[in-house]
Amino acid sequence: MLKRLRADFRLSIITILGATSLLGITPFAIMRFLQGDLVAGAIDTTLVLTIFGGMAYAWITGDTRRSGMVLAIIACSGAVVVAVVVGEVGLFWLYPCLVTTFFLVNPRVATLLNLTSIGALVLQGDVFQDDIQKWTFTATAMVVSATAYAFALRTNSQRERLEQLATIDPLTGVKNRRSMDEELNLAAAHAERTGIPYALVMLDIDHFKKVNDEYGHGVGDEVLIDLVTLIRHSTRKSDELFRYGGEEFVLLLPGVDGAGLVAVMNNVQHILRKKMTHPGGPITVSVGVALLKHGESVGSWLERADGALYEAKQAGRDRVVFSDTMPGTTPELAT
């Protein structure tokens, strides 16, 4: 539970909102029922139940974006309704909502919600004792919103940077192994639901250690970057490339199998053979390919692709080996 909260910032904000509403609003709901103010008590109870329900939905489904939007709207509109019903005392409930919205939804939507909430109360003149109180509230609410906006922008920027550092390989700019694990699990689940074929391609640069030893790691880095650039240019936008480690990469190809997959791999290897070079001459790549089988685990899928890559290395390198027999081919395809 704590691990999930640390990993998902929006879920942590939703959880805090749910807990504070339960602990902070419930006593007021009880008090108002005891005082005979049934309308205000019902509004408070509805707010607590709705917010708590939104929190439960976020935990169960993991859909924090949608639940965050709903909770932001409920919090702001609920605060406005409470202020209208109970009077100026209810104005205080809007201030925490003005801050919270910026952590539940993106800054533009939060700004719109806040301005709408403030405007709704300003237009409702009965909430305030006089014009001085009304414009004082407006000014302070705007200051709170502006401060929260600036803080949210800064926080979002830092969080996105941290997420990028955690999931992107800094040298090549492709996703790293951590991202690959998540994407492969999603691909396997999607294939199971839809029946769409997925191919896993493992690529390893031949004699890469020799390149580093003879020409330096700077040249080796350039070779890695060139490989990524060439693969990206020769594959579709829907295809995902990951750096598996060192000079080894993984390519995830959705929606291709059979003769189509063979054609794709022929094209990729043709381009790599033609354009991959370093100061000592051409660079070659060994490739292993595995199609995801029905009901197969991601671990088994990876093992089969890795086994095909090993076969390509053992057979002399600079070739593509398929773990599965493609139509019109043998398991090994040397191009």
Cβ–Cβ under 8 Å, residues 71 and 104 = yes
Spatial neighbors of 3 by CB under 8 A, at least 6 apart, are: none
DSSP 203-266: EEETTHHHHHHHH-HHHHHHHHHHHHHHHHHHS-TT-EEEEEETTEEEEEEET--HHHHHHHHH
What is the Cα gyration radius of the chain? Answer: 29
Q: Are strands 332-333 and 320-322 parallel, antiparallel or unpaired?
A: antiparallel
Q: Give the span between the Cα atoms of 58 and 325, in whole angstroms.
A: 44
Report which of 264, 255, 272, 316 is spatially closest to residue 289, judged by C-alpha positions: 264
Q: Which tokens hold the place of 294?
A: 């029905």
Q: Give the span between the Cα atoms of 20 and 11, in whole angstroms.
A: 14
Examine the residue annotation and report whether 182 is marked as an active-site residue of this protein: no
Report which of 293, 326, 286 is spatially closest to residue 307, judged by C-alpha positions: 286
Cα dihedral across residues 20, 21, 27, 32: positive or negative = positive
Q: Which amino acid is at 188?
A: A
**Which residues partner with 241 through β-bridges?**
251
Length of the chain (residues): 335
Backbone angles phi, psi at 168, to 5 degrees: -115, 135
Catalytic residue among 247, 248, 311, 332: 247
Q: Which long-range contacts (CB under 8 A, 24 or more apart) does 35-40 make?
A: 37/86, 39/85, 40/82, 40/85, 40/86
Residues designated catalytic: 247
